[in-house]
Amino acid sequence: MSKAESADLILKLYDLRREATMRKARDWMFFFNPKSAEEYMQTMMDQEVGAYARMVVSYWDMAAALVVEGAIDAEMFRKTNGEHIIVFAKIEPILADLRAMWQSPEALASLEKVVLDAPNGAEQLKKTQEWLKGIQEQIAAAKAG
């Protein structure tokens, strides 16, 4: 694939992220912090927000699959995206349980691969998880008054 083809696909992915429902789902996902596979599954089945969880996670796994399969240059993808790391950081602690629950050992494998195969991917994942934990603490403190 050429750099121009990669750039074109990345711009198309960006346009998809701007769609109204997807934007709401992405905003919602920022504040969703599942503590267990069971909580994630309950949320996925919720009539109000379940589609948001499914939409955002499957979107980033799809985008990652384009990288894994070579349709998008991995370095260019990393330079132009970061939200996928946040999404994976929320799912990674419960991923093994989700895979067991879904009886799908390859579930979200593309997203996992893109995040962990990046230079310092595991370190970036850990830093992102720590950052998200700090945000959760700030939100909790603000709610507590």
pLDDT value for 96: 98
Distance CA 20, CA 100 (A): 33
What tens digit of pLDDT does each residue of 72-123 get?
999 999 999 999 999 999 999 999 999 999 999 999 999 999 999 999 999 9
pLDDT value for 15: 95
What tens digit of pLDDT does each residue of 4-53 get?
999 999 999 999 999 999 999 999 999 999 999 999 999 999 998 999 99
CA 78 to the chain's CA centroid: 13
pLDDT value for 140: 87
E strands, 21-145, are none
pLDDT value for 122: 98
How large is the average pLDDT for residues 54-64?
97
pLDDT value for 95: 98
| 93 and 87 Cβ atoms separated by less than 8 Å | no
Distance CA 57, CA 80 (A): 18
* Structure token digits, residue 25: 């789902």
| 64 and 114 Cβ atoms separated by less than 8 Å | yes
Domain ranges, ordered by start, for the chain: 3-144
